[in-house]
C-alpha cells in the first residue's frame, strides 16, 4: 500500500511495483518526507473496499494470468507502521577476520531486535595491486596486493522508528578498517554477485547487430 502510493510519486512509473525479484523497491526514500506524510492523509480518506480490491491485482507472468486474492477486506495486509522495505547494510574492508566477525555480530544483533534478515551474504572480493615508486623515477619501491572484502546484510521491513537506532549501533560499533554503507538495493549491485554468462552475452550482441542492420542500410542509401 505504502509502496504503491510512493510509486505514484516516483517518476519511474513504468516499473510495476509488485515485481517478482523485488529489487527495485520504491520504498520510503529518505528525501521525501513531505510527500509521504501529506499523502498519508489523503489515503485514509480514499480507502474504500473497491479501491482496495483493485490494488490487489497480482500478475503471474509465467502463465500470464491474474492471481486473485479472495481474502476479506478487513484483514490488514500492510504493516501498521511505516517501514523501510528492503535495506542493504554494506560492509567493506581489507581485513578479512575483523570484517567477518563484525558481519556475524550485525546478523545476531538484528535477530535479537527481531528485525527480519532476509539474506546475509558475501559479495565477490575485488583485488587491488598497489605500486609505489621511488622518488623521481619509475623504479618500483614497494608493491602490495590487497583484497577488498565485501559483506552484505539485507534487512526487510525495518520499522522507521527503530531504523535510526540500528544505524547508530552499527556505526558506533564499527571496528577500525571497516567501511559502512547503508542504502536500498540496486539492480547493478545484485548483478555483480553472479558470474556473467558469456554465451548469453554473445547471443545478445549478435541479436542487436542483426536488428541494427536494416537501419544502417537505409541510412547508407540516403
Partner 1 sequence: MLLNKCNIFLCTNARTSGLISSSIKLLSTAVPNSQSKPSGETKLYASVCVERMPVITCDMNDLENRYSNLINEINVRRSLLSNHELRHLRDIERAKKKKDKQDDQELVIETAVDYEDKQLKQFKSFEFANRKTSAEFDKANVEKENKKLLLQNIDYILDKKLILLVSEPNSSVWQLPKVELASEDLSLRKTAERAVQGLSEKFEVDYMGNAPVGVFKSKKESLIEKQYFFKAQYKSGAQHLASSKFDFVWIRKDELKDFIKNKDYLACLNNFILDF
Q: Which of 13, 132, 160, 201 binds partner 1 (CB under 8 A)?
A: 160
Q: Is residue 186 involved in binding partner 1 (CB under 8 A)?
A: no
Non-local (6+) Cβ contacts of 129 within 8 A are 143, 144, 145, 146
Sites for partner 1 among residues 190-209 (CB under 8 A): none
Q: Is residue 101 involved in binding partner 1 (CB under 8 A)?
A: no
Query: Which CB, 94 or 167, lies closer to partner 1?
Result: 167
Sites for partner 1 among residues 15-74 (CB under 8 A): 28, 30, 33-34, 36-38, 40-41, 44
Q: Is residue 172 involved in binding partner 1 (CB under 8 A)?
A: yes
Q: Is residue 135 involved in binding partner 1 (CB under 8 A)?
A: no
Q: Is residue 134 involved in binding partner 1 (CB under 8 A)?
A: no
Q: Is residue 131 involved in binding partner 1 (CB under 8 A)?
A: no
The residues of the shown chain that bind partner 1, judged by CB under 8 A, are: 28, 30, 33-34, 36-38, 40-41, 44, 80-82, 159-165, 167-169, 171-173, 176
Amino acid at each position: 500500500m505504502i509502496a504503491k502510493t510512493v510509486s505514484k510519486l516516483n517518476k519511474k512509473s513504468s516499473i510495476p511495483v509488485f515485481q517478482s525479484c523485488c529489487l527495485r523497491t520504491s520504498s520510503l526514500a529518505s528525501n521525501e518526507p513531505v510527500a509521504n506524510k501529506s499523502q498519508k492523509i489523503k489515503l485514509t480518506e480514499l480507502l474504500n473496499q473497491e479501491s482496495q480490491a483493485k490494488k490487489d491485482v497480482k500478475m503471474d507472468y509465467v502463465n500470464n494470468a491474474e492471481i486473485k486474492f479472495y481474502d476479506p477486506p478487513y484483514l490488514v495486509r500492510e504493516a501498521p507502521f511505516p517501514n523501510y522495505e528492503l535495506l542493504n547494510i554494506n560492509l567493506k574492508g581489507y581485513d578479512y577476520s575483523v570484517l567477518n566477525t563484525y558481519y556475524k555480530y550485525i546478523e545476531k544483533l538484528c535477530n535479537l531486535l527481531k528485525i527480519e534478515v532476509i539474506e546475509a551474504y558475501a559479495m565477490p572480493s575485488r583485488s587491488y595491486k598497489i605500486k609505489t615508486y621511488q622518488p623521481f623515477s619509475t623504479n618500483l619501491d614497494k608493491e602490495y596486493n590487497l583484497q577488498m572484502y565485501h559483506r552484505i546484510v539485507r534487512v526487510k521491513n525495518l520499522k522507521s522508528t527503530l531504523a535510526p537506532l540500528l544505524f547508530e549501533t552499527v556505526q558506533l560499533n564499527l571496528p577500525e578498517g571497516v567501511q559502512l554503507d547503508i542504502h536500498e538495493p540496486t539492480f547493478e549491485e545484485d548483478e555483480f554477485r553472479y558470474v556473467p554468462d558469456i554465451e548469453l552475452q554473445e547471443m545478445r550482441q549478435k541479436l542487436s547487430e542483426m536488428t541494427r542492420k536494416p537501419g544502417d542500410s537505409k541510412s547508407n542509401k540516403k
